[in-house]
């Protein structure tokens, strides 16, 4: 019987992903091995086509690998029933995407409450839980604004609040600053870094930007579907944008 407690939070061994279309096989990931412990902030960095977003989808149980082994909290995707898998993604994983994925006509509060529709949290507490997540990203002054009325940086902070609303163990952020100017991007990365440092949420960041990756404690560098380097960040940015040793 598998002892789930012997595994780190995320564990990949010889992981691979191959897409097949009309009998043509295209490898996207090859022989990926690493582990991530509870509380870590890890950036997965590489150019377009390096496989980093494919890897994030597998780590977040949004896609299946085709070779090797991947475990979250010691369990593989096949250890979950479909309902358990959906609950795990909803309750233990939060997702932030480059395109924000907000409902344009819904208010900030309504957007942040959306994941609670699929939670075990009583409806009577939804407003309070969502309002707390909004406060954590400094958007309480925009609570009743429609998302279409917000700037890009504000939209991404709302997306972070939505990812936080169920207090997930891991936040997956896929190019969260890709649609933002440098100032807005810095504000978003500061908010994400504080969630890791102050609240101990794991953060798995996908980026092609060195500056953004240096908010993490560790960078996994990818190229052509493989890991090139896995290294500690010795000069991290502080949450306010300065460097810390």
Given the structure tokens 């380097």, which residue do they identify?
229
Instruction: Give the predicted TM-score (pTM) of the model.
Output: 0.90
pLDDT of 109 strictly over 90 = yes
Q: How far apart are CA 245 and CA 233, in angstroms?
A: 9
pLDDT of 245 strictly over 50 = no
The model's pLDDT over 185-229, given as tens digits with 9 standing for 90+, comes to 888 998 899 889 888 899 999 999 998 999 999 999 999 999 999
The model's pLDDT over 119-168, given as tens digits with 9 standing for 90+, comes to 888 999 999 999 999 998 989 999 999 999 999 999 999 999 999 999 99
The model's pLDDT over 88-104, given as tens digits with 9 standing for 90+, comes to 988 899 999 888 899 99
pLDDT at position 37, please? Answer: 95
The model's pLDDT over 4-59, given as tens digits with 9 standing for 90+, comes to 567 899 999 999 999 988 889 999 999 999 999 999 999 999 998 899 999 999 99
Distance of CA 68 to the CA centre of its chain: 22
Sign of CA pseudo-dihedral 100, 105, 111, 116: negative
The model's confidence at residue 1, banded by pLDDT at 50, 70 and 90, is very low
Distance of CA 172 to the CA centre of its chain: 1
pLDDT of 2 strictly over 80 = no
- Mean pLDDT of all residues in 224-235: 93
- Mean pLDDT of all residues in 111-117: 92
Burial-class residue 46 by CB neighbours within 10 Å (0-12, 13-18, 19+).
Answer: buried
Write the DSSP string, 104-165: TTSBHHHHHHGGGGGSSS-GGGHHHHHHHHHHHTT-GGGTTSBGGGS-HHHHHHHHHHHHHT
For 185-217, b/e burial (b = at least 16 CB within 10 A) is: bbbbbbbbbbbbbeeebbbbbbbeeeebbbbbb
For the chain, the straight-line distance linking the first and the last C-alpha, in angstroms and rounded, comes to: 43
**Residue 89: both structure tokens together:** 């993604």
Evaluate whether 180 touches 6 at the Cβ level (below 8 Å). Answer: no
């Amino acid at each position: 019987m598998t002892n789930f407690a012997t595994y780190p939070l995320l564990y990949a061994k010889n992981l691979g992903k191959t897409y097949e279309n009309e009998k043509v096989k295209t490898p996207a990931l090859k022989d990926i091995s690493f582990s991530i412990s509870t509380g870590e902030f890890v950036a997965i960095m590489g150019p377009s086509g390096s496989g980093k977003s494919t890897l994030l989808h597998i780590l977040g149980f949004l896609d299946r690998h085709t070779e090797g082994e991947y475990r979250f909290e010691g369990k593989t995707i096949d250890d979950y029933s479909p309902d358990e898998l959906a609950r795990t993604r909803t309750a233990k994983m939060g997702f932030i995407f480059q395109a924000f994925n907000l409902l344009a006509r819904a208010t900030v509060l309504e957007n942040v409450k959306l994941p609670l529709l699929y939670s075990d949290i009583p409806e009577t507490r939804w407003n309070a839980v969502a309002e707390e997540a909004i406060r954590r990203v400094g958007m309480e002054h925009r609570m009743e604004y429609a998302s279409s009325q917000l700037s890009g940086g504000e939209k991404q902070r709302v997306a972070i609040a939505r990812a936080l609303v169920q207090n997930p163990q891991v936040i997956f952020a896929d190019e969260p600053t890709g649609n933002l100017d440098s100032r807005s991007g810095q504000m978003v990365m500061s908010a994400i870094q504080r969630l890791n440092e102050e609240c101990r949420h794991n953060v798995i960041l996908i980026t092609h930007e060195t500056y953004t990756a240096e908010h993490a404690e560790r960078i996994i560098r990818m190229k052509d579907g493989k890991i090139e380097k896995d290294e500690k960040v010795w000069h991290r940015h502080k949450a306010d944008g300065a460097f810390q040793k």
